[in-house]
Amino acid sequence: MAALSGKIALVAGGTRGAGRGIAVELGAAGATVYVTGRTTRAQQSEYGRPETIEETSEMVTAAGGQGIAVRVDHTVPAEVEALVARIRREQGRLDILVNDIWGGEHLTEWNKPVWEHSLDKGLHMLRLAIDTHLITAHFALALMIERPGGLLVELTDGTAEYNATHYRLCPYYDLVKTGVIRMAWAHAKDLAPHGATAVALTPGWMRSEMMLDIFSVTEENWRDATSVQPHFVISETPRFTGRAVAALAADPERARWNGQSLSSGGLAKVYGFDDLDGSRPDCWRYMDEVMDAGKPADATDYR
């Protein structure tokens, strides 16, 4: 359980969802985790959600690690530069960078072509989900490469294989999620000579705080949502993705994944971890073979 003891991680965009799940699982493995985002107990972001970076940080510490909450707007280079300077000053190293900055759900207009979609919302989505990742990588990777063995995880939605043949129902969303995969591939080329690894990672259909609210359920009764959306039966908790990142970070041979597009379900098969309920959902295979194929919802062979 202390496989990452002594390791320093930065989860950029760790307020909620996958970022929170990753931060907690890194903490459970013994890491010190800097959790960044824009929503604190004193100040809420445009996202309008109640979750805070302090809550995530406390969950990291409760899990066995050390959580450190820092309010950062990752669209502002000076704030990110100051964050990395603080990590250097306090820790002298950075071993794991998770780029999970997003916040674009409220900007997405599904099933609208580019000429109908709000231009302002679309460009803001690119700013939140592409620019922020590059800004963070610019400052944080310079610290990470000072020691060999670093890991960069770029969070996205969909594997490279799935996204290559499926339009993600919005030109901006499609560009963001495929662009992050390519970004990880490019970083992998630059990081390899420094003994560091970069991957793109996607959760499956994640039971984030927002998704549970959309279906008016909780984690305890989430299956009730299948009466509205039967395919929600394949969903997974944010901690499942967290366990994928923790497993990658603890793998001394993680360089074998350099530049690849990975999924929580795919890595679970390799590393042997389960979701909180003991199941092992394989969402993207399910999406391709069941949901997109028009078959009735049945996750029997997929979790």
Query: Given the DSSP bridges, would you call strands 96-99 and 66-71 parallel, antiparallel or unpaired?
Result: unpaired
Looking at residue 126, its pLDDT comes to 96
Q: In the structure, how many helices (H) and strands (E) does the chain have?
A: 11, 7
Q: Between 48 and 66, name the one with better pLDDT.
A: 66
Query: Given the DSSP bridges, would you call strands 197-202 and 151-155 parallel, antiparallel or unpaired?
Result: parallel
Residue 147 has pLDDT above 90, yes or no: yes
Q: Which residues on adjacent β-strands are paired with residue 294?
A: none
Looking at residue 234, its pLDDT comes to 97
pLDDT band at 1 (very low <50, low <70, confident <90, very high): low
CA nearest to 208, candidates 48, 26, 49, 55: 49
Contact status, residue 239 vs residue 299, Cβ threshold 8 Å: no
Q: Domain coordinates of the chain in residue numbers?
A: 8-217+239-280
Question: How far apart are alpha carbons 52 and 68 in whole angstroms?
Answer: 12
- Rounded mean pLDDT of 275-290? 96
What is the longest distance spanned by two Cα atoms in the chain? 55
What pTM value is reported for the model?
0.96
pLDDT in tens, 84-129: 999 999 999 999 999 999 988 899 999 999 999 999 999 999 999 9
For the chain, the straight-line distance linking the first and the last C-alpha, in angstroms and rounded, comes to: 24
- Does the structural domain 8-217+239-280 have CATH classification 3.40.50.720? yes
pLDDT in tens, 11-58: 999 999 999 999 999 999 999 999 999 988 998 888 889 899 999 999
pLDDT in tens, 192-251: 999 999 999 999 999 999 999 999 999 999 999 999 999 999 999 999 999 999 999 999
Q: What percent of the chain has pLDDT over 90?
A: 94
